[in-house]
Chain A
């Protein structure tokens, strides 16, 4: 931005934001309503096969998860609010469940693979419960997986030339057959997390 025209710079930034927000609104509004409310969409519509990379280099293939329930969250590390709070809640829930959930894995799939390289994901997740595993893929791989889960994400430019992101803030609970079981929403409390995780573990 030319520093001699701060007002112009602000207008350009505001216009860019407006364009991004409008585009998001169009995508959001043209999405069938059932996609936005996983609770009432057909369960079979959400989820699908994925092969992504964990920070230790291991490939996590959803085919290998058969027989074990798991959870999926789409986030990014430059996220000041939703991601750390959700990860804290998940950590507390897993801690509370203890050995009952010893095989449960919660996958934190980055929607910002350019900045969230595997080593960044490893550091970021190191203080949370070890059952939370970061997953990385190429931008194309991430786009495919997000589409399978009907998860939305997009970059939002900021005035410094960088960006932040809009993204779906749902924790998707997947049952032991790899089928979508239930969502946990951002605003849900500890008791709700615990009840839904228990139901997932006890489910068929």
Chain B
């Protein structure tokens, strides 16, 4: 019994961080991995949200909307660097997820733009948001808030 308890305790410490960061959500053929957001400076009214979407189906699907009580408005954006210029572009038609493919929303790339934030994103906190897919429908996922300069790689979080 004592051994079992110890094993459970050790497992908790070993697996705890993995469970916390590598979290997954499913709806229909769509699987969502590791939704996360960056902490925001005080008074900031916008924040970026990131996650990986995998389409296990045989038809393309599309992330069309995201909503959450913590933001007054949410859009899907793409950031690109053109030389030294950071460019932002809204994607009003959403983000297509081809069949059998994974699309990663990440810094300097596709991202969810949380706007009119009701309060800043604080590191180590989390919040829920509802994702809407054209075919798979709606799913609620939990975003973990990571440091302001995190790049979302799990290695970094496990340090």
Residues of A bordering B, CB below 8 Å: 10, 13-14, 17, 21, 24, 28, 36-38, 77-82, 84-85, 87-89, 92, 120, 123-128, 152, 156, 158-160, 162, 164-170, 183, 185-187
A28 nearest CB across to chain B (Å): 7
A36 partner residues in chain B, CB cutoff 8 A: 83-84
The interface bits of chain B over 11-41 (1 if a CB of A lies within 8 angstroms of the residue's CB, else 0) are: 0000000000000000000000000001011
Shortest beta-carbon contacts, A-B, top 7: A123-B43, A80-B48, A88-B149, A169-B86, A164-B88, A82-B86, A166-B87
Q: Residue B46 at the A interface, CB < 8 A?
A: yes
Whole-angstrom distance between the alpha carbons of A166 and B89 in the complex? Answer: 9
Q: Is the CB of A81 within 8 A of B48?
A: yes
Contact with A along B82-105 (1 / 0, CB 8 A): 111111111011000000000000
Q: Is B62 an interface residue (CB 8 A)?
A: no
Q: In the assembled complex, which residues on chain A have CB atoms less than 8 Å from the CB atom of B89?
A: 17, 21, 156
A186 contact from B47, B86, B90, Cβ within 8 A: B86
Whether the Cβ atoms of B38 and A80 lie closer than 8 Å is: yes
The verdict on A165 contacting B88 (CB below 8 Å), with A81-B107, A85-B107, A160-B73 known, is yes
Measured between beta carbons, the chain B residues less than 8 angstroms from A85 are 38, 107, 148-149
Interface: B45 (CB within 8 A) = yes
Docked CA distance A124–B44 (Å): 6
Whether B43 lies near A77 (C-beta < 8 A) is yes
- CB pair B148–A84 under 8 Å, yes or no, is yes
Which residues of chain B have C-beta atoms less than 8 A from A167's C-beta? 85-86
In the bound complex, how far is the Cα of B151 from the Cα of A73, in angstroms?
21
Report the Cα distance A187→B42, complex, angstroms.
24
| A186 with B38: CB separation less than 8 A | no
Q: For A10, what are the chain B residues with a Cβ–Cβ distance below 8 Å?
A: 92-93
- Asked if B108 is at the interface of the complex by the 8 Å CB criterion, the answer is yes
Contact call A77/B73, Cβ cutoff below 8 A = no
Q: Would B81 and A159 count as touching, CB distance under 8 A? A: no
Q: Do the beta carbons of A186 and B81 come within 8 Å of each other? A: yes
Once the chains bind, are B92 and A168 in contact (CB under 8 Å)? no
Contact call B41/A166, Cβ cutoff below 8 A: no
- In the complex, which residues of chain B have a beta carbon less than 8 angstroms from the beta carbon of A80? 38, 40, 46-48, 77, 79, 111, 113-114
Contact at B87–A24, with CB atoms within 8 Å?
yes
Q: How far is the CA of A77 from the CA of B41 in the complex (A)?
A: 9
